[in-house]
Structure 1
């Protein structure tokens, strides 16, 4: 099956050459240079990749979309995505492509959790962040996968049906949600992941994590508004209950009702009701739009 390997890259001159050289054994390679200020494009070309360069940094999601647009403009049957930072081993590309060739899956995700060595090597701070992001993605998609893995393979028909909303790092979660909504078969396969790579932190891990989480919450709101607004409504009712207790507890002890807490309880109750009604309304509208 004719395969295209899409590599989004941003300031990865130290590793992109080796990733391209190894990936070339398994298909055509395109590097989407997302506005790098170093020699990423030059080195990728020298290693044998076709390079498309964004004039400015638009985000990983936008870089992948550029690669996908190129794939759809040609007769590629399988598209593989792999990061340019050297975390993934291009020699494992056949592991991802095999289930597609055997017609067992439409979208294959390389998972760091299916191999003990890879799971143990995840740094503690990443472990916590990934758990939050994976569970958030599960809320939006109803599937529990390594949602942040950038090492994937998919059939052409998946790209033809996906309408990805994200331009940033939440694109991986967006892809999972869109694929499940369209009824595509998802499968995880075990891969190795390295964390001792150059420039492993191009962004602050905490701000990066919150940025991705915000994107996923947006997906939940768009794809499953009732779930998101029901959760927010529940939190509002819990706050109302706590404030109500604080307002009335002195009264039962022979004192007076705390007016400020009582008013706060009433406000949070009204907010909770409004959020729930908004969730119901948006859920109906969302279904109507999709139909």
Structure 2
């Protein structure tokens, strides 16, 4: 346990032979449960998980764990809940390690979802997500858990952009892509102070997991961006915690030609869902109308520009004047700016930064 909280760690693993064993064995002693999910790896990842679980020297170190035998029996019986059973085979715990094997490859987000379902079954107070490739400094885990233990946040995530030192350690191509996705995620989620949304080093409270619909979470690599939008709609407090990353011999499995269009489309869909659900259906706030009017004026300006160019090419004496088009774009920008200002003010109380 950590400061009175039972702690579970979800470790998604796909072809992480040579890495995942070290992550398991180096896990802090205060961690009560390790949900290690093999996402149908084609190498020796599963065997390494089982071997590391048997070698874990901290398996008996958390004797004050609040995880009961009843919780464990419920977790492994018939594969756990029906939702969990459809996704994975849950093995008997080996010490504090619960080995879980997916029935089919579900991706990183799918593995995180499986781990969250398992943590819900055992009523874990705080669930941390850690990659299996060793990029995350486990000694910093208390920094993620402290905001939850102190009741200041419902969700904490690492942020490699808060510190100049940490930013410098990030490869340039990752920094550029991360910066773009940070802005898109700020707009979609409403957490305007939150940065580095792709950081998978996170901690979520049991109450927050109970509040959101885990089964409906996005399962592709943009799962962390999707989760932020869901948390905002449920008025959850988010802590952005300065955190370094460790870059070593691991190779990213992300295919950016597929990743960028999928995540961008998902963020746009989630943005519209947040406006509808939180600011029109559950409660009304003018920021939704400002966003919609601004987007509409911008689209009208784009259409007018296109028609004017076409008529000019065809030498047809009709079209929209340049001043009218400019006015449309200026009005669009003004409405969108007002919407963002409203958005920032509306959600400022849900954000905090830990440097």
Shorter-chain TM-score category? 0.7 to 0.9
- CA contact 1:8–1:63 (8 Å) conserved in 2: yes
- CA contact 2:19–2:132 (8 Å) conserved in 1: yes
2:258 maps to what in 1? 207
- The structure-2 alpha-carbon separation of the partners of 1:195 and 1:211, relative to structure 1 and needing over 3 Å to count, comes to farther
What CA distance in whole angstroms lies between the structure 2 residues aligned with 1:95 and 1:247? 58
Query: Root-mean-square deviation (CA), in Å?
Result: 2.5
Q: Is 1:35 aligned to residue 40 of structure 2?
A: yes
Greater mean alpha carbon deviation, residues 43-52 or residues 147-156: 43-52
Q: CA deviation at 1:132?
A: 2.0
TM-score normalised over the length of structure 1:
0.80
Q: CA deviation at 1:42?
A: 1.5
Q: CA deviation at 1:58?
A: 1.0
Q: 2:176 aligns with which of 118, 122, 128?
A: 128
Q: Is 1:70 aligned to residue 70 of structure 2?
A: no
- CA contact 1:87–1:197 (8 Å) conserved in 2: no
Alignment of 1:136-175 (within 5 A): 136-144=184-192, 145=194, 146-163=196-213, 164-175=216-227
Which sections of structure 2, spanning at least 5 residues, go unmatched?
54-96, 277-287, 321-327, 329-355
Q: CA deviation at 1:157?
A: 0.5
Q: CA deviation at 1:7?
A: 0.7
- CA contact 2:156–2:241 (8 Å) conserved in 1: yes
TM-score normalised over the length of structure 2:
0.66
What CA distance in whole angstroms lies between the structure 2 residues aligned with 1:248 and 1:171? 45
Q: CA deviation at 1:230?
A: 5.7
- CA contact 1:89–1:192 (8 Å) conserved in 2: yes
Which sections of structure 1, spanning at least 5 residues, go unmatched?
263-268, 270-291
Greater mean alpha carbon deviation, residues 215-224 or residues 57-66: 215-224
The aligned length equals 257
Alignment of 1:241-252 (within 5 A): 241-246=304-309
What CA distance in whole angstroms lies between the structure 1 residues aligned with 2:44 and 2:246? 23
